Structure 1
Amino acid sequence: MADYLNIEWKPDKNSKVPIYKQITEYISGKVSNGDWLIGSRLPSQRKLSEIFEVNRSTIVAAMEELTSYGMLESEYGGGTRIASNTWSLFMSTPPDWNKYIHSGPFKSNMPTIQIINKLEFDEKYIRLGTGELCPDLFPHDLMNKVFKKLPSKIPSLNYLGPLGLPELRRSLTQRLSLQGIDAPDSSIVVTSGSLQGLQLISVCMLKPGSTVFTEAPTYLKSLQVFQSAGMHLNGIPMDKNGMMYWHINKEISQSLLYTIPTHHNPTGIIMSEERRRDLFNFCSGNRLPMIEDDAYGDLWFDKLPPKPIKAMDKNGMILYLGTISKTLAPGLRIGWLVGPESVVYRIGDVKMQVDYGASSVSQWALTEFFDSGYYDDYLIYLRKELKSRRDLALSLLNTHFKDLADWNIPEGGFYIWLRFKNQLFIDKLFQMALENNILLNPGNIYDFSDNNALRLSYAYAQPEDFSKAIKILSEITLRCQKK
C-alpha cells in the first residue's frame, strides 16, 4: 500500500495570489523545510484536487511548474514523487533529513499501521479495530472521587525510585496473589504502560540476533520493538487451545518466548489450562525464558479464565506484564513488570535512564483506585458492557457475514477474529473502507505472511456506528473478492 504524504493545508481562495501559485509555494516550502523527504510520493492529481478543493487543471499547472524546477518527477504507474530539493537552493539548503531518519536503529511502522495510527484521531472514521475502550465507558464519577482524595494523600510530586511508587507496588502484590502469583513488591517495576516493559526488555535483556518465539498471528508483529533491537520474530501456529509450542525449533539458545494466553490479541483465544501447563513445562525443560502479557486478563465475561502461567513459576523463568490501559485508561500510562529481583532492578535502572519514572500522579491515582475498591466495582460494570457489545457484534455478523466469513466467539477481551471464506484483496478492502469512513485493522499486520482476516473490536465504536459500519463492510467485502 502506498505511503502517501500527509496534507492538511488548503489554499486561500480569497487571496490575490493565484491558487496554483499558492499550491506551488506550499509544496516547495514543505520540501525546502525538510518536512517532505526526497522519494516521498504525492497523492494522485485527482486526490490533490479533492484535498485542495480546486479544479484538476489548477493541480496540473502547479505540478508542471514544480516539475520544471526539478523538484517533482512522474513515474509510469508510480505517481509523482519528490525528486530533489532544487527549489530550496533559491532560499536555504536544509540537511538531507532522509539519511538521518533512516539511519537510526528504530524501525518505522508498516505503512498500513502508520495510516491507522494517524486516522484513529480523526473523528469522521468509525474505528472497527481499535484496541481501546469507548470514551463512554470511562468511569468519570469514580475518577472524580479518586482525584478529590489525592491532595491529602500525595506528600509530593517529586521523582520516584527506580521501581516506582512503593504503595502501588504493595497494592499490586496483593492483587497478583489473588491470581496465584507470588510477587513481593521488590519483584515489581512500574512502567509507562506494558509496551514500555517490552521495550525495556528488548534493550537491556536480549542480544542482537536473538529469536523471539510468539503466536502467529500476534499483536507483537504489529510492533517493531524487538526487530529494532536486532532480534528476529518466529511465529508459531495456534489451535483453539493456544500456541502449538511443539513447532518451536529445538535450536533455542539466545531465545525467549512471548505469549498472550488470555483473550489473545488479535484472535481472542484463551489458552487452555492444560496447554499452559504443557507450555510451561516445555519452556522449563528447555530453559526458554517467557514473557507473559496479561493485558486482557481482567476482562472475562461469564467465567474466570485459567490462572496466568506465571502462577506456576517458582524459579523466575517468566517475566509477567500487566497494565490498566485496556481496563481503565491508556492515558494514565501505567503498567508493571514482575520478575526476578535481578531482572527488575536492571530494568528499573534502564527505565531511569529513559524517562526517570512513570507519572507520579498516575501511580498515586491507580493506587487509590485499587485500594478503595473502585477498580473492582468498575470491572463488574465494564465486563457487563463489553459482553453486551460482543453480543451485538455477533448478532450483526450472523446477519451480514454468515456467507462471507467465519469468526470466533470471544469469552472476554476486545476482539473478534474475522476470517473470510473467499480470498480477498485485503489492501483494496482497507482502502475502500477508508473511502466509506471506516477504519479497519487488517489481519496481515499481525501475521508473518498474508492472511485473509480482520481484527474486529467491539470495545470502541458506538453500537449504532458499529451496526452501520458492519453492514457497509459486508457490501464492500463482496466487491473485493478475488475472482
Structure 2
Amino acid sequence: MNWQPNRSLPLSLSKQIVQWMTEQIESGEWPIGTKLPPQRKLALSFGVNRSTLQEAIDELKANGLLSSKTGSATYVSNDSWNVLVKQKQTNWQQYIEASIHKSNFQTIQLINEFEQDDSVIRLGTGELNPLLLPSAAIHASLSGLDLDGKTIGYSSPQGSLSLRQAICSYVQKRGIVTSPENICIVSGALQALQLISVGLLETGSFVLQDRFSYLNSIHTFQSFGMHLYGLSEHQYTLDMIQRIRRNRQAILYTIPTLHNPTGNCMTIQQKKELYALCESAQLPIIEDDVYCELLFDEEPTPAMKAFDQTGGVLYIGSVSKTLSPGLRIGWVIASTPVIQRLADIKMQMDYGSSAISQQIVEHWLRTGLYERHIEQLKIELQRRAELMDSLLQQHFQAIASWEKPKGGFYIWIKFHEPIVTTDLFMQLLKNKVLINPGYIYAANDAHHIRLSFAYGSDAELEQGIEILYQQIQTNKHR
C-alpha cells in the first residue's frame, strides 16, 4: 500500500483513511470477504498511530463496510455493497416530507388506488359509469371538427374564443350574463380551485365552507398555508365572518346546488341571502356549480353569480360530471382582472387545456347535443337513485336516515350510532366494497357515508349495499 493521508488537509487523518478505504471497496479493489492486513502493519503503512487507525476502522464497522469478531482479523463485510448502494441513493422521502403540497389522507389514497381495481364495487365514486358516457357520439363528433395545425396547437391563455362564446350563451339559462373576456377555460373544477388558491389568496387566508365539504377531501388550499373553517348554516352571520377573518384575507366556498357530499340544494331565497351577507362583509364567493344540470324533476334556481353586481363571485362550471371527466374541461367566470390573473398562472402551469377537448365541448354546446345528452342522463340517474333508495329502505331504515336525492350522484346517509370508522372502511375494502366515509369530508365524523348510485351496475349496487349491511351487523354483535 503506497497511500498515506495528507497531513496538510483540514480533514482529520482518520476521516481520510475512512474515505480511502471506502473507495477501495467501491472500486472492487477490496472485494467482499477481503482480509485486511494486521492493524500494526496498516498503521505503519499509513504513517499514523494505531489509535487513529482504530478510530477509522470503528467508523467503517459502524457504517457496515467492515466486520470482525473479537480477537480475529478484520474483513470487508458481506453486506458492504448493499450499504454502499443505500448510501448513494437519493433520500427522496426527505424531499417529499419537506415539500409544499400535503399528501392525501391515507383513506383517500386507498380510494384513489382501489378505484382502478375492476373487481371492487365502487359505492362512493363521484364519476359516471362508463356506459353512461356518450363515447360513440363523442367519437362521431370528432369527424366534424376542423382539426388543422392551428386549431390543435396551443390556445390563447384564456382558452378557445369560440368555446368561451358558446359558454356565454349556455350559462344564460343559469341567469348569468357574461362575455368571453370574463371566462377562463380550465382543466376541470379542481384546477380552478388550484389556480384560485395560488393566484388570489395569501398564506394564512381563511376559506369558509360548510361543515361537511368536498374541500376537506383535498389539500388544494391547506398546502399553501390557508385555513379551512367549517360553518353550519345558522353560523353564517356578519359577526361570525368578521370574527373568523380577524383582518386576514378570506373567501367563501359553496356548492349551492346538489352539494357534495350532502346533496342539499339552496332555495333562491337562501342564495340571495348568502350573497347579500357576503357582499356586505366584502367576502368573495367561489360558487362551484358542476352538478347544477343534474336535478331530476325541476330546473335549478339561478346561480349566485346571476345576482353579482360587484364582481365578487367566482363561478366554476365543468363537463366532468355530465359529459366526460377525461375531456378535462371546465371554466371560471369572474371579473376581468381575476380572469387575466388565472389565465397567466394557467399558462405557466400547462400552456392551456387540450385544444381538441375544447373543440369537442364547443361542438356539443353549440349543436344542442349536450342538452339532449343531459336529459337522457338525468332519466338514468333518477332510475338509479330510486334503486339505491329502495335498497337502503330494505336494509337501513332502523339504523340510519337519509334524504331521497333530488339529483346528482349521491345519497348522504346518516347512521344513528357512530359506526363509520376507519375499521369499517378497511373491513369493507377487504370485502371488495369501496365507500366514501364521512370523516374525509369532516374530521372525526363517524356517522355518515357518501353513497354513489352513478357508477356501479344495478347488480353491484345491490351486492354492495348488502355487504355494507352485513358488515355493520357483524360489527354490532362483536
What is the aligned partner in structure 2 of residue 441 from structure 1?
436
- The one-letter amino acid of 1:91's match is V
Q: Offset of 1:153 from its aligned partner?
A: 7.7
Does residue 264 of the first structure (1) align with residue 256 of the second (2)?
A: no
Distance 1:397 1:86, change over 3 A: farther
Name the TM-score, length of structure 2 as normaliser.
0.80
Q: 2:404 aligns with which of 406, 409, 417?
A: 409
Helix, strand or coil at the partner of 1:298: helix
Name the TM-score, length of structure 1 as normaliser.
0.79
Distance 1:468 1:194, change over 3 A: same
Q: Offset of 1:144 from its aligned partner?
A: 2.5
Q: Offset of 1:450 from its aligned partner?
A: 2.4
- The one-letter amino acid of 1:346's match is R
What is the aligned partner in structure 2 of residue 106 from structure 1?
101
- Matched residue count: 398
Helix, strand or coil at the partner of 2:471: helix
Could you tell me how far apart the structure 2 residues matched to 1:283 and 1:162 are? 30
Q: 1:89 aligns with which of 78, 83, 87?
A: 83
Could you tell me how far apart the structure 2 residues matched to 1:480 and 1:238 are? 33
Q: Offset of 1:463 from its aligned partner?
A: 1.0
Does residue 376 of the first structure (1) align with residue 371 of the second (2)?
A: yes
Helix, strand or coil at the partner of 2:293: coil
Q: C-alpha offsets along residues 459-481 of structure 1, whole Å, 9 cap, x if unaligned?
A: 01111100111011111112334
- The one-letter amino acid of 1:167's match is S
On the 8 A contact 1:408/1:417 being kept in 2, the answer is yes
On the 8 A contact 1:428/1:480 being kept in 2, the answer is no
Structure number with larger C-alpha Rg: 2
Please give the root-mean-square deviation of Cα atoms over the aligned residues, in Å: 2.0
Could you tell me how far apart the structure 2 residues matched to 1:87 and 1:128 are? 48
Helix, strand or coil at the partner of 1:250: helix
On the 8 A contact 1:425/1:481 being kept in 2, the answer is no
What is the aligned partner in structure 2 of residue 128 from structure 1?
123
On the 8 A contact 1:216/1:448 being kept in 2, the answer is no
Distance 1:175 1:482, change over 3 A: farther
Q: Offset of 1:141 from its aligned partner?
A: 3.1
What is the aligned partner in structure 2 of residue 330 from structure 1?
325
What is the aligned partner in structure 2 of residue 74 from structure 1?
none
Distance 1:86 1:343, change over 3 A: farther
Q: Offset of 1:482 from its aligned partner?
A: 9.1
Q: C-alpha offsets along residues 90-146 of structure 1, whole Å, 9 cap, x if unaligned?
A: 535201111101111100000000000111001110000000000010113321321
Does residue 249 of the first structure (1) align with residue 241 of the second (2)?
A: yes
Q: Offset of 1:302 from its aligned partner?
A: 0.3
Does residue 341 of the first structure (1) align with residue 333 of the second (2)?
A: no
Distance 1:87 1:103, change over 3 A: farther
Helix, strand or coil at the partner of 2:446: coil
Q: C-alpha offsets along residues 42-67 of structure 1, whole Å, 9 cap, x if unaligned?
A: xxxxxxxxxxxxxxxxxxxxxxxxxx
Could you tell me how far apart the structure 1 residues matched to 2:212 and 2:130 are? 28
Q: C-alpha offsets along residues 376-424 of structure 1, whole Å, 9 cap, x if unaligned?
A: 1100100000000000000000001111211121111111001111221
Matches within 5 A, 1:212-291: 212-238=207-233, 244=236, 248-251=240-243, 252=245, 253=247, 254-291=249-286
Q: Offset of 1:306 from its aligned partner?
A: 1.4
What is the aligned partner in structure 2 of residue 303 from structure 1?
298
Could you tell me how far apart the structure 1 residues matched to 2:477 and 2:302 are? 43
Q: Offset of 1:348 from its aligned partner?
A: 0.3
| Percent of aligned pairs with the same amino acid | 39
Could you tell me how far apart the structure 2 residues matched to 1:112 and 1:420 are? 20
- The one-letter amino acid of 2:85's match is M
On the 8 A contact 1:423/1:481 being kept in 2, the answer is no
Helix, strand or coil at the partner of 2:439: helix
Name whichever of 166-175 and 298-307 sits farther off: 298-307
